Amino acid sequence: MPDLKRAFPHFEEPIVKIQDKIDRLLDSDPGSPIVTKLQKERDKLVKKIFSSLTPWQKVQLARHPMRPYAMDYIESVFDDFVELRGDRNFADDRAIMGGPASLDGTTVMVIGTQKGRTAEESVERNFGMPHPEGYRKALRLMKIAEKFSFPVVTLIDTPGAYPGIGAEERGQAEAIAKNLRDMMEMKIPVIVTITGEGGSGGALGLGVGDKILMLENSVYFVCTPEACSAILWRDASKATVAAGTMRLTAADLLELDVIDDVVPEPPGGAHWNRQDMYDTYKKRLKHHLGALKRTSSENLFIKRYEKFRKMGVFENTKK
Amino acid sequence: MNSKKNNVPHGLFKRCPKCDYSIYSKELQLSLWVCPKCDYHFRLPARRRIKMLIDEGTFKEYDSDISTSDPLGFKDIKTYPEKVSEYVKKSGLNEAAVSGTAKIGGYDVSLCVLDFYFMGGSMGSAVGEKVCRAGERALRKKIPFIAVSASGGARMQEGILSLMQMAKTSAVIAKLDKEKIPYFSVMCDPTTGGVSASFAMLGDVNIAESRALIAFAGPRVIKQTIKQDLPPDFQSAEFVRDHGMIDIVVDREDLRGELIRLLRLFSGKPANK
């Protein structure tokens, strides 16, 4: 269960209130028939609230402070994870972590952006906003994976690549661009999952692969709704409106043919039943990896190329 | 990512936006739209840029029939189609990119030039498609690919589809890379965001015009984030070159010559004129 003292979005409030009551009762009178009644009430409420989430509410869920992060998936879905650090050039970026791990006996290279949960951790992880060395570390790990024929699994949850002086000096644009090109050419299967926030180029820098998955309540966007509203509406308070028109939810992206699969989340979102989330994700991941195993590396490139090449919608007047 | 609307140099006189000097349009034309007083490089519309780069009369335009769609039904203060049609009217282009084949110093090239005056040169599906087709044309004809960028980045009004143009254009660069077709990327003022972080930074040789702004995140965003003043010349072409991301910074008058030299060196043979 989530820590109720943490910040949560407003629309979750009624659910959290009932849960609070249930927890108190379970403490004092676990056999009480009221508990079952309250639980039923809670489940009904969850269903009601979550069946009609607005895009902005999904943004809030994707950013939920209790949402599982890359490290949580790594610990719960994989075994024997060994973290590999550094880009062999400048530094180790803590906003991206990765290394080999076992997925039921198959070695895969897992790479993910990592947000922090405490204030201290958030600073250490730079709020999940990578510097160029993070993208370069990720690419180094992918090249190792390619060398030893390990499939690559990337887990994305970032507000975006960090906009700072050092990041610019060390070539943030180049680092992301190079990943886009080189991930396209990877001779091993690459499975991308947006687990929370898919923040623009910072997300795409780990986001080129054979299958693109999104968790049900995750979002993926060209720029944050806040930035979009500030620029296009010239009014930062229009973020909710912007979110509504940007089409950034998993369902939207599936419809736009940008992603391949939406991984369902437990009622109330991934943070309400983490184990259930990990189990579902693991099943889906194994399914996609299994399907890609039989594809030759040359065919992987051809299909991956076609997949991205056809993205976009435009008019072509004379055919 | 809107352009400054009245900056296109036309009319009898033109004022330099940097030093305020008034210049005869004729004189400006002779100086390739570089301020004779302060050396400011005016931003160039795509067609003017192409004319300046290529051997006269050799440009064959392709894909001018590709134009914008409105896949999201996007509306902010105006609808997206309304906004686009304004730019179409103003620029005479139907999108922020012009592409085709041409000769430069006698060498055949495939060319794609972005136009900052068309919605800030922003890359949506149509621009991405034109970049890709120009790259693929280079592949088919086995001629070098030259992309000339001037863009604020991905176009917000096409949402995630614009972001995906970064992956799509980089995919074509991956193919050029595999097939060993030379790709020269020319970055003009400004080249930022989704364009700098995709095909523009991936040249075998990266070239930039003097003092062009070249960045991932623009200076305003960075200032807001870190709440500090930025170092002088931060994100200028020279700064970016000195930090290892660009090979050559040239004045506008030297750009064509530099490209011809590269075309000669990479082909290893004299031009067939």
Q: Are strands A96-103 and B107-114 parallel, antiparallel or unpaired?
A: unpaired
In chain B the domains, ranked by start, together with CATH numbers, are: 1-42 (no CATH), 44-267 (3.90.226.10)
Lowest mean pLDDT among A182-186, B68-72, B198-202, B269-273: B269-273
Residues of chain A under the 70 pLDDT cut: 1-7, 318-319
Same domain, yes or no: A142 and A195: yes
Residues of B (142-161) whose Cβ lies below 8 Å from A: 154-161
Residue A152 lies in a domain: yes
pLDDT at residue B170 greater than cutoff 50: yes
Is A101 among the domain residues?
Answer: yes
Whether the per-residue pLDDT at B239 is higher than 70: the answer is yes
Answer whether residue B237 shows pLDDT above 50.
Answer: yes
The pLDDT of residue B5 is above 70: no
* A41 and A74 fall within a common domain: no
In a domain, A65, yes or no: yes
Number of domains in chain A: 2
Please give the DSSP secondary-structure letter assigned to residue A230: I
Q: What confidence score (pLDDT) does residue A237 get?
A: 87
Query: Could you report the per-residue pLDDT of B171-193, keeping only the tens digit for each?
Result: 999 999 999 999 999 999 999 99
Q: Does A232 map to a domain?
A: yes
For residue A6, is it within any domain? no
The Cα of B38 is separated from the nearest Cα of chain A by a number of Å equal to 26
Lookup: tokens for B4: 């400054």
The answer on A151 and A289 residing in a single domain is yes
Note whether A153 and A247 are same-domain residues: yes
Touching check for B179 and chain A: CB below 8 Å? Answer: no
Q: Up-side HSE of residue A195: CA atoms within 13 Å toward CB?
A: 33
Convert the pLDDT of each residue in B74-105 to its tens digit: 999 899 999 999 999 999 999 999 999 999 99
What is residue B7's predicted lDDT score, i.e. its pLDDT?
Answer: 53
Q: Are A266 and A175 found together in one domain? A: yes
- β-pairing, B97-104 vs B60-62, is antiparallel
Looking at every residue in chain B, the average pLDDT score rounds to: 94
Q: Which stretch of DSSP H or E encloses residue A98?
A: strand A96-103
Question: Which chain A residues have a beta carbon less than 8 Å from that of B155?
Answer: 222
Chain B nearest C-alpha distance from A241 (Å): 9
Q: Measured between CB atoms, which of B132, B162, B230 is closest to A165?
A: B230
- Phi and psi at residue B88, in whole multiples of 5°? -60, -45
Domain shared by A40 and A72, yes or no: no
B185 touches chain A (CB under 8 A): no
Residues A39 and A64 in one domain: no
A246 contacts in B (CB within 8 Å)?
72, 74, 156, 159-160
CA closest to B235 among chain A residues? A168
Q: How many CB pairs under 8 A join A and B?
A: 202
From the list A161, A247, A305, the residue facing B72 with the nearest CB is A247
Domain CATH for A136: 3.90.226.10
Please report whether residue A314 resides in a domain. no
Provide the ipTM: 0.95
Answer yes or no: is A271 within a domain. Answer: yes
Together in a domain, A97 and A221: yes
With a cut of 60, say whether residue B1 has pLDDT above it. no
How is residue B168 written in tokens?
């799509």
Helix residue ranges per DSSP H, chain A? 13-28, 33-50, 55-62, 70-77, 119-124, 132-147, 165-169, 172-184, 200-204, 225-228, 239-246, 250-255, 274-293, 297-309
> Are A19 and A41 in the same domain?
yes
Residue B22: what pLDDT?
A: 92
Range of the domain at A257: 59-309
Domain presence at residue A122: yes
Q: What is the mean pLDDT of residues B158-175?
A: 98
Same-domain pairing of A133 and A23: no
The whole-number pLDDT of residue B269 equals 84
Say what percent of chain B tops pLDDT 90: 85
Q: What is the pLDDT of residue B11?
A: 72
A37 with A130, same domain: the answer is no
Residues A44 and A71 placed together within one structural domain of the fold: no
DSSP B217: S
